[in-house]
């Protein structure tokens, strides 16, 4: 595996909310549906159970997010992706599935602070009042495909790496002091 490189070098911005590009993160897109070994495969790869629809399961620095009826995003330390892919392959041997390392194709942002939800409200058609802890929402940040979820005292947003600079610009603009809702 190549040396990990963050999408934006860890760019950071502080305004009415704190925006941090977090990375690099290891990510595997797992396409599988109703497989006998799916639960064991996810457990072996990231140490969580398979999440319910629109949920994310977290175990320390690893997680599994439901992305669609047959797609899960496994998130882990970048260096552990190879081992996780091997574990998935063994657990799902003979079953129809696809597991792909997408670590270098994604960017991850953390948005935190008292105004974090308001910053995201400006960009996404999401009811942040109704978004529960551990609930994953696939949506758009302006015109860019994204996934967002709340945990602890912050939100995590994932988008394609190719639009990371654009998304950082959107987040910075929405978090600029004086732009409060």
Question: Which tens digit of pLDDT belongs to each residue from 140-149?
Answer: 999 999 999 9
Q: Is 153 exposed, middle or buried (0-12, 13-18, 19+ CB in 10 A)?
A: exposed
How far apart are the C-alpha atoms of 55 and 134, rounded to whole Å?
6
User: Beta 18-22 vs 71-76: how paired, if at all?
Assistant: unpaired
Give the three-state DSSP class for 143. Answer: coil
For residue 107, give the nearest of 58, 152, 165 by alpha carbon. 165
How far apart are the C-alpha atoms of 175 and 173, rounded to whole Å?
5
Angle CA(137)–CA(138)–CA(141) in degrees, nearest 5? 105
Q: Give the residue extent of every domain in the chain.
A: 12-174
* Strand order through the sheet with 62-68: 56-59, 62-68, 71-76, 26-31, 98-101
Angle CA(21)–CA(121)–CA(29) in degrees, nearest 5? 50
CATH class of 12-174: alpha beta
pTM value is 0.93
Question: Which tens digit of pLDDT belongs to each residue from 54-102?
Answer: 999 999 999 999 999 999 999 999 999 999 999 999 999 999 999 999 9
Angle CA(181)–CA(54)–CA(118) in degrees, nearest 5? 5
Q: Quick one: pLDDT band at residue 50, thresholds 50, 70, 90?
A: very high
Q: Quick one: pLDDT band at residue 2, thresholds 50, 70, 90?
A: low
């Amino acid at each position: 595996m190549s040396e990990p490189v963050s999408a934006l070098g860890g760019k950071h911005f502080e305004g009415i909310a704190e925006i941090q590009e977090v990375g690099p993160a290891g990510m595997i897109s797992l396409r599988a549906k109703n497989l006998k070994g799916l639960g064991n495969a996810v457990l072996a790869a990231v140490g969580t159970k398979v999440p319910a629809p629109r949920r994310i399961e977290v175990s320390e620095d690893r997680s599994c997010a439901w992305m669609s009826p047959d797609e899960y995003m496994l998130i882990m330390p970048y260096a552990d992706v190879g081992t996780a892919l091997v574990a998935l392959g063994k657990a799902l041997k003979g079953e129809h599935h696809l597991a792909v390392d997408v670590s270098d194709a994604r960017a991850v942002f953390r948005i935190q602070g008292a105004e974090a939800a308001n910053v995201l409200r400006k960009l996404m058609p999401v009811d942040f009042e109704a978004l529960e802890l551990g609930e994953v929402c696939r949506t758009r940040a302006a015109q860019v495909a994204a996934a967002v979820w709340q945990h602890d005292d912050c939100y995590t947003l994932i988008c394609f790496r190719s639009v990371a600079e654009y998304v950082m610009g959107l987040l910075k603009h929405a978090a600029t002091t004086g732009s409060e809702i």
